[in-house]
Chain A
Amino acid sequence: MAKKLTPILLAALLCFLSPLAPAQQACTVCSWEVPSAPNTSADPCEDLAAYACSSTRSPISRIDVRADEIRVQALTDGVAALGYSSFGEALVGQLNQVGVELREGQNPAALQGAALAGWVTGVEFKDVKDCADNLRTSTSRAEFRMEEHIESFVKAYAAHLPSFVEGMGTFCQSMSCPMTPIELRRAAVDIYRLQGTPEYLGKARELTGQFRDILQRYYESAPGSICNDLNQQLTAATASIIRGFTDTVSASRHTIESILGEYYTSERRARAQAIFEAARSDVKDFVAVLGADAPTRAQVLEQYDNMRIHWREAPSESEYTPHQGLQVYDPGAFNPDDVYGFGLTFFTSKNATYSPGMTIGVSEHTESIDIHPVMLLEMDENPFLLLQVMAHELGHKLGPQVSRLNGHDLSPKWEELLQCFRGAGSIRMMESQKEEVISDYIAAEVMARHLAQLPKEQRLGALAAASQYSCQAEGGLPRLNHVGSHPDDYLRLSGIYGANPSLRRVLSCEKDSTKFKSCGLEDSLLDAAISSQQGEAGAPSSFDRSGGVQ
């Protein structure tokens, strides 16, 4: 009995002692639902982009639609503090306050769409419809109610003085105006500075009203353009008003708390944390594969242990200031971490970033991975995508320049591999792309290790799922836009991931594709995992040499 137990105990002890043990023992991806492989004639061994992106029909996914729903809900929660039941209704209320009315029957959702997009389109105004109807049905000049429509102009101009001043400056060059352009600007600026106060609108209309006669004279000579010109002015006023209001609401306390609460549920945080830890464990093992010396390795591993996911916290109470009846976040100085405001567009962007640890003045920034909230929605449906993205971001720490920045120069270790990627047979990497290419290479190594733990028939489906981030970026249409810090998505997928020697082994592909040369280090993460599990302790291995599962 004792003889039988000894090898088992020894194996268990070595598993705890070996730094590679945890990643090999646990199969993170084995419990995930693996999507079926794409139904396409494209060959993943030849062109992974064509294969993986074959079913990516549109760059707008269900996730994008859900992200929009979440931000609209957060904005609705924000305007509830002002007594409105929807964000669209609140926007209509803002316009009505300055005398801009939508055409009867116009759905406030059109205004909401305009506020989120950043431009006004598909919004129809009551005064423009009245004007157009009147112009269409009038049989004589006397019948056309010119004065009424000029009055609409006076109101519309008052709702946005910058357009009035800039537009009138040109207008007055050909017409005799009641004041010079300089006098007009001076008067308008004085009133503009009052915006937000009760006296603003009255004074603005008083100023724009002084141009009634000249407007009337002009449009009597050219009545055909009056309705379109009125539409332009109302569009400008609407664009400005809804943008300003949307900025305010999206940086308001209830909105911020709503959107953070919706994305950062405890379940999602725990799941993302588990993926982060799995990827981190693999990337830490990669440090040994890279052949870093012992002190460097110890330093890097310690820094990896301290690395965190950057979870955004709601601002503290003192960071809000009262504005337009709301508590609004005011970050003060230009702050790249200020993601609120601007219609919450940050909460629609799919991205992740790595930030090295740094100290600026007295503030310290922990080395971290910033996973944009929408990526958590992606994770709900497709955790393979987040695993690949996490591995890529974690890999940045080992990049040629970033490693130098972090105090452990690994650039000599990469030079031979980079030379391969620079080659005509590979992706013709540009110098500005080194960091991203290395991160992709590390992520490919990590993915190979995970996919090797899946049954062979599931690996292609899993890799296609992991590749969806790049497919969405390009809408499934490869473009050879070979510039910038990231290589083109086609080159990333087919030329780095698809040509990675470890992934090719796991997928049972030939050594090289006919399109891209395989670029890899002599040692791989996959080999490290295989030899470690097959070796020392005689522990049963979950890998075989071709990446198969025993």
Chain B
Amino acid sequence: MRAIFFLAFIFMSASLVAAPKKPTTLMQVRVSNQKVHHSYAVQKTTDSKPQHVLVFKDGKKKAQKVPLTEGQAISLLTHARDILWERDYRRKPAAAQKTCREYAKLGATSMKPSTICYEDAPSARQTERLLNILHGLAKR
């Protein structure tokens, strides 16, 4: 009986020590169309010291994780924020679209993921650029 308690104690303490903190998602972007189903997320883990990672998912394949420097993570987060701020707060009147064909879904910390439409050319172009940077990093 003492051995069972001892084993239970070992398991409990091991799980307490090893329980990883849930990573914080700084930004994420998803593109899903006839050709590709890609999603990218920049995450920050704070297990010991802050570490950043790019999580790339291609369809149903296993997610790929690529370590990022802090500078890369901040730059990607800033890029996403800029696209959303530019779109929401500095939109030219002509850019207000009546229809929306989804190009991508984009989110950044403390901002809800939102749809980037093909019809919103400046946002779509910037999102395409962000996706190219993310893809380049994921494929290194």
Residues of A within 8 A of B (CB): 114, 117-123, 160, 162-163, 166, 169-170, 189, 192-193, 195, 232, 235-236, 239-240, 243-244, 331-335, 338, 341-342, 345, 483, 485
Chain A contacts of B108 at CB under 8 A? Answer: 166
Chain B contacts of A170 at CB under 8 A? Answer: 110
7 contacts between A and B (CB under 8 A): A119-B133, A120-B71, A120-B74, A169-B110, A335-B121, A483-B59, A485-B35
- Contact between A118 and B75 (Cβ–Cβ < 8 Å)? yes
Name A160's closest neighbour in chain B (CB-CB). B78
- Contact between B69 and A166 (Cβ–Cβ < 8 Å)? no
Can you name 19 extra interface pairs (CB under 8 A) apart from A118-B79, A235-B70, A243-B82? A117-B133, A120-B71, A120-B75, A123-B71, A162-B78, A162-B81, A162-B82, A163-B81, A166-B108, A192-B89, A192-B90, A193-B90, A235-B74, A235-B75, A239-B74, A334-B121, A334-B125, A345-B129, A345-B132
Does B114 make an interface contact (CB < 8 A)? no
Q: With A243-B79, A334-B125 as known contacts, state yes or no: A235 contacts B35, CB within 8 Å.
A: no
- Contact between B125 and A236 (Cβ–Cβ < 8 Å)? no
Q: With A193-B89, A334-B118 as known contacts, state yes or no: A166 contacts B110, CB within 8 Å.
A: yes
* Nearest CB of B to A50, in Å: 22
- Contact between B109 and A236 (Cβ–Cβ < 8 Å)? no
Cα of A236 to Cα of B58 in the assembled complex, Å: 28
Chain B contacts of A240 at CB under 8 A? Answer: 78-79, 82
Cα of A342 to Cα of B124 in the assembled complex, Å: 13
What is the predominant secondary structure among interface residues of chain B facing chain A? helix
Within 8 A of A (CB), among B58-89: 58-59, 69-72, 74-79, 81-82, 85, 89
In the A-B complex, list the 3 residue pairs whose CB atoms are closest, starting with the nearest.
A119-B75, A121-B71, A239-B75
- Contact between A235 and B129 (Cβ–Cβ < 8 Å)? no
- Contact between B81 and A166 (Cβ–Cβ < 8 Å)? yes
Does B12 make an interface contact (CB < 8 A)? no
Cα of A342 to Cα of B132 in the assembled complex, Å: 10
* Nearest CB of A to B124, in Å: 5
Does B100 make an interface contact (CB < 8 A)? no
Within 8 A of A (CB), among B82-103: 82, 85, 89-90
Chain B contacts of A342 at CB under 8 A? Answer: 125, 129, 132
Number of interface residues of B (CB under 8 A): 31
Chain A contacts of B110 at CB under 8 A? Answer: 166, 169-170
Does B111 make an interface contact (CB < 8 A)? yes
Chain B contacts of A239 at CB under 8 A? Answer: 74-75, 78-79
**Residue from the list A162, A333, A341, A485 in contact with B85, Cβ < 8 A:** A162
* Nearest CB of B to A370, in Å: 17
Cα of A334 to Cα of B59 in the assembled complex, Å: 26
Chain B contacts of A244 at CB under 8 A? Answer: 82
Chain A contacts of B85 at CB under 8 A? Answer: 162, 192
Chain A contacts of B132 at CB under 8 A? Answer: 342, 345
- Contact between A166 and B111 (Cβ–Cβ < 8 Å)? yes
- Contact between B75 and A338 (Cβ–Cβ < 8 Å)? no
* Nearest CB of B to A196, in Å: 10
- Contact between A166 and B121 (Cβ–Cβ < 8 Å)? no
Which of A193, A235, A338 has the most C-beta atoms of chain B within 10 angstroms of its own C-beta?
A: A235
- Contact between A119 and B82 (Cβ–Cβ < 8 Å)? no
Cα of A210 to Cα of B71 in the assembled complex, Å: 27
Q: With A162-B81, A239-B79, A485-B35 as known contacts, state yes or no: A121 contacts B69, CB within 8 Å.
A: yes
Which of A119, A160, A244, A341 has the most C-beta atoms of chain B within 10 angstroms of its own C-beta?
A: A119
Chain A contacts of B76 at CB under 8 A? Answer: 119
Chain B contacts of A162 at CB under 8 A? Answer: 78, 81-82, 85
Name A345's closest neighbour in chain B (CB-CB). B132
Which of A163, A195, A232, A239 has the most C-beta atoms of chain B within 10 angstroms of its own C-beta?
A: A239
* Nearest CB of A to B95, in Å: 10
Chain A contacts of B75 at CB under 8 A? Answer: 114, 118-121, 235-236, 239
* Nearest CB of A to B31, in Å: 14
Cα of A341 to Cα of B132 in the assembled complex, Å: 14
Which of B71, B108, B121 has the most C-beta atoms of chain A within 10 angstroms of its own C-beta?
A: B71
